[in-house]
Amino acid sequence: MTLAGARVLVTGAAGFLASHVVRRLLASGAEVHGWVRPTTDAWRLAEMRSRLTLHQVDLREADQVRQAVDRIRPSVCFHLAAYGLSARQHDWDEAVRTNVLGTTHLLQALGAGGCQRLVYTTTCHEYASKAEALNEEDPVAPLELYGSTKAAATAVVRAWASGVGLPTVVLRLFGVYGPYDGTNKLIPNTITALLSRQVAAVSPCEVVRDYTYVDDIVEGILRSAEASLSGVVTINLGSGQPVSLRQLVEAIAAQLGGRVEFGAIPPRAGEAQSLWADVRRAETLLHWRATVSWEDGLRRTIAWFRTHARHEPLSSSAGTAHG
């Protein structure tokens, strides 16, 4: 399947990762339809606004979702909308309504809309902590709000897509960072604090994660839409290289100077100790592997934050990273 000329739907289009996906889709020649909630500040899409069709759709409202899909009739859907990735988002009811019920509404609408490929992004936080690289056959055992509600939605996606015969790629994303990221997450929070000559107040940063620069992740997402795959396939997208959060924060401080206060913020409840990706399936099925090291990715991210005004208030509750 080629994306050039395809009618494509991106849910959560104004989000950090989704806005990068929209940008690449437009560059590929796709006809892009983006969904945002009515209350969303779509600042990340401002420079692209004239080249895509933006729809105000609340996934929690089944009628809105069905009517919007009927109007668009996408051939490919990238479902990136989610609740709970940010430390600011901790309402369980809202997480279930958006991640599980909202995804169900979308699936039901797509079933009648002629969609040919669904790409659903979920999270490494579906997995339990493991000292070795996590592969796609490892048990699902989430410990907190985001991972558990996304795991529930993943189960719904797999069952529904298998039942109706829609080719679907479930992408378990590990840590993603880069330009346009929200300052409520660890890397941009640390960067913006140190650029502002503030103390960077962070968690103990004792956990191990897998971070991938956003351009690499977007490439993997687009390849998953174009690859010759059938059925429902789950694929990890990550760098395959474990790194401690303390190491990341110290690398940022080494470039920017300033003071970091480790342990100023408590770790997130239920936080897994070690999450990093086995990416052999992505290499085999998508011919994809991350090409940007985390050191180079941090340099690019810092350079972007140096030259762009901050669009979100610096969060004092960010402290921990979430994939």
Show pLDDT as tens, one digit a residue, over the chain (323 residues). Answer: 899 999 999 999 999 999 999 999 999 999 999 999 999 999 999 999 999 999 999 999 999 999 999 999 999 999 999 999 887 888 999 999 999 999 999 999 998 878 999 999 999 999 999 999 999 999 999 989 999 999 999 999 999 999 999 999 999 999 999 999 998 899 999 999 999 999 999 999 999 999 999 999 999 999 999 999 999 999 999 999 999 999 999 999 999 999 999 999 998 878 899 999 999 999 999 999 999 999 999 999 999 999 985 544 444 333 333 33
pTM of the model: 0.94
Fold classified for 178-210+241-275+292-307: UDP-galactose 4-epimerase; domain 1 (3.90.25)
- Any residues with CB less than 8 A from the CB of 27 and at least 6 apart, and which? none
**Distance set, CA 93 to CA 83, 100, 102, 264, 273 (Å):** 10, 10, 12, 29, 26
CATH number of 7-175+212-237: 3.40.50.720
Output phi, psi for 3, to 5 deg. Answer: -85, -20
The conformation of residue 29, written as its DSSP 8-state character, comes to T
CA atoms of 177 and 162, how far apart (whole Å): 32
CA atoms of 224 and 235, how far apart (whole Å): 9
Domain ranges of the chain: 7-175+212-237, 178-210+241-275+292-307
**Distance set, CA 51 to CA 27, 56, 75, 91, 191 (Å):** 10, 16, 18, 34, 31
CA atoms of 235 and 136, how far apart (whole Å): 6
* 7-175+212-237 and 178-210+241-275+292-307 in the same fold: no
